[in-house]
Amino acid sequence: MLGEGILKGMAETARNFAGSFVSKERLTTVEYPEERIPTFENARVFPFLVYDTNDWEAGLRCVACQICEKECPPKCIYIDKSKDKKPDYAGKQQFYPTRFDIDISVCMSCQICVEVCPFEAIKMDTEFELATGDRFGGLLLDRKQLAKSNEYYHRIHPTEAAEVDVRLAEEKAKANAKAKAAADAAAAKAAAAKPAPHVEGAGD
């Protein structure tokens, strides 16, 4: 019959309209500024930089390798690499970014920077309330605005952050074992006049 679909739709609307007086579930509107839909764990908006410890500048995981800058499809990341090195969160001497800007007026939230980062330094944020009248000042985030703590990362993406922490701990343990083996080998070499026997995993 002609118009049957419309009638069915209108019946559904009428049922929801009448039902909304008795059932709260039929009230679909989420009154945004006061209440909000809980974000999904994998929700993503713009990238941010993760830092460990309490000092955002010293704790940045980023070592300015510039892979994300090169991979970024719309080219919205700008990095200046430092001339000197400083110890990162694990105590290893690393370069650091003297400038790390993300132009969020260009960013398309593709997450490729996150996927290519070998240091788990850049992750996706869920903050979306970024509307501004300031075209240039408000939409270019520098490294201070981008730096967010690991605790914050755990809060917005708990499962993913836990996996990352396990992976980083493993890598750190491996690096420590390697350093220890190298130190042992050096000590043995110094103790004996002749070269020490080769130690598994030493050197390189």
Q: Which residues would be at the binding site for another protein (CB under 8 A)?
A: 28-33, 36-37, 45-46, 73-75, 103-109, 128-136, 138-139
For residue 106, count other CB atoms closer than 10 A to its CB: 14
Give the separation between CA 127 and CA 114, rounded to whole angstroms.
16
C-beta closer to another protein: residue 29 or 54: 29
Q: Which is nearer to another protein, 37 or 191 (CB)?
A: 37
Question: DSSP characters for 60-107?
Answer: B------HHHHH-TT--EEEEE-SS-EE-TTS-EE--EEEEEEETTT-
CB of 185 to another protein, least distance (A): 47
Residue 33 main-chain phi, psi, to 5 deg: -65, -30
The nearest distance, CB 38 to another protein, in angstroms, is 12
Pairing of strands 147-149, 86-87: unpaired
Shortest Å distance, C-beta 170 to another protein: 34
Answer left, alpha or beta for residue 20, where phi above 0 means left and psi between -120 and 50 means alpha: alpha
Q: In the complex with another protein, which residue's Cβ is closer, 103 or 160?
A: 103
CB of 142 to another protein, least distance (A): 12
Question: Which C-beta is closer to another protein: that of 89 or that of 100?
Answer: 100
